[in-house]
Chain A
Amino acid sequence: MSLGVSTEGRVMSNQNTLSQAKENVGEIAVSFISGLIFGVGLILSGMTQANKVIGFLDILGSWDPTLMFVMGGALGLHFFTYRWVRNRYPKPILVTQWQVPTKVQLTPALFLGTFLFGIGWGLAGLCPGPAFVNLGSGNRHIWVFVVFLLLGQGAFYLLDKAWKINR
């Protein structure tokens, strides 16, 4: 965070988006590259193909274990790189503090939310990452899925504003 008032985004409402882009161009560039690499990883692994995801969840059909290899690769690497980065760097390279979740409580929202997520994931064979990657293919089914994903998040945003849900 290079700005003192950075957590209060609206404080800077008179600042235009272009000057904000200059302010944190490094962060924006790293995010873009990370998104690109993440997407290539999803495509290479086959996880952008909903039939392979549903195939993994389909224990009563012809089970496709590919997803386990993908998780194995991602977890196998990041288990070590997470520790390495946190030990090696007192703070992130481009910003002043870590923003890694620290909550430990197992809340009802966690159980209900993740249970519902599994249902949506199983129904279409899509989670948010592969859905966004597949937007690039221009497929109409995917676009409908993503538009309603945004509406679902928007619905939560409004509910949370009204009731402040403990997640």
Chain B
Amino acid sequence: MTFMDAVNGLLGGLLIGVAVTLMLMFNGRVTGIAGIIFGLFSLDRRDFLWRLAFLGGLILSGALGAALFPQKVGYAFEGRFSLGYMALAGFIVGFSTVLGSGCTSGHGVCGMSRLSRRSIVGTLVFMFSGFLTVAVMRLLGILNT
């Protein structure tokens, strides 16, 4: 990590804070991205479009990013992880973020800001299992160059 990485991290984090504040102030909602996606499944007409609009905003930012800063988007492990591996990881993330009521944005940013006990515990648990998982990947040689 360079000094500029830290500065950009802090600035990017502030922008994320702005985005979740807008969502709360105008729409009265937390910006838990897994929850925003999961809400689509109920096909609630009242609720469907703002969810799509939020996800559309995310995707548009990625498309703009790909055009302007191609080194910042895409996937660095293309050559290392198979598509089956990606499918497994994606399925786990999808299932678990509903079972556990949140992801990095819902628990980590929104819930921790409210000092929600569930989110503080949830964030500690997924940080712990994240460290553990990558340590195991390192030991198994999945990450070795």
Please classify the interface of chain B as helix (H, G, I), strand (E, B), loop, or mixed, using the class held by over half of its residues.
helix
On whether the beta carbons of A58 and B91 are closer than 8 Å, the reply is no
Q: How distant is the Cα of A131 from the Cα of B12 in the complex, in angstroms?
A: 16
Residues on B with beta carbons closer than 8 Å to the beta carbon of A20: 45-46, 48-49
Residues on B with beta carbons closer than 8 Å to the beta carbon of A13: 45
* Best-surrounded residue of B1, B83, B94 (most CB of chain A within 10 A): B94
Residues on A with beta carbons closer than 8 Å to the beta carbon of B75: 50, 134, 137, 139, 141-142
| Given A71-B13, A148-B94, A36 and B61 contact (CB-CB distance below 8 Å) | yes
Interface residue? A162 (CB, 8 A) = no
0/1 string, A26-53, CB within 8 A of B gives 1: 1111111111111111111111111110
Residues on B with beta carbons closer than 8 Å to the beta carbon of A126: 89-90, 93
Q: How distant is the Cα of A50 from the Cα of B81 in the complex, in angstroms?
A: 12
On whether the beta carbons of A128 and B53 are closer than 8 Å, the reply is no
Residues on A with beta carbons closer than 8 Å to the beta carbon of B109: 71, 74-75, 78
0/1 string, B10-21, CB within 8 A of A gives 1: 111111111111
Residues on B with beta carbons closer than 8 Å to the beta carbon of A119: 92, 96, 129-130, 133
Residues on A with beta carbons closer than 8 Å to the beta carbon of B128: 115, 118
Q: How distant is the Cα of A83 from the Cα of B72 in the complex, in angstroms?
A: 33
* Best-surrounded residue of B16, B63, B118, B121 (most CB of chain A within 10 A): B16
* Best-surrounded residue of B26, B75, B105 (most CB of chain A within 10 A): B75
Closest 10 CB pairs of A and B: A113-B100, A73-B13, A35-B57, A152-B94, A45-B12, A136-B62, A39-B61, A118-B129, A77-B17, A92-B28
Cβ contacts A to B, 29 pairs, < 8 Å: A20-B49, A21-B49, A31-B23, A37-B22, A45-B16, A52-B5, A71-B109, A73-B10, A85-B24, A91-B28, A100-B28, A106-B121, A113-B122, A114-B126, A117-B92, A117-B93, A120-B89, A127-B103, A129-B104, A133-B59, A135-B62, A136-B62, A137-B63, A137-B74, A140-B83, A141-B86, A153-B38, A156-B38, A157-B38
Known contacts A46-B8, A78-B113; 19 additional CB pairs below 8 A are A30-B27, A34-B20, A37-B19, A38-B16, A42-B61, A46-B5, A49-B73, A58-B134, A59-B131, A78-B20, A78-B109, A111-B121, A114-B126, A124-B85, A126-B93, A128-B97, A132-B33, A133-B65, A139-B78
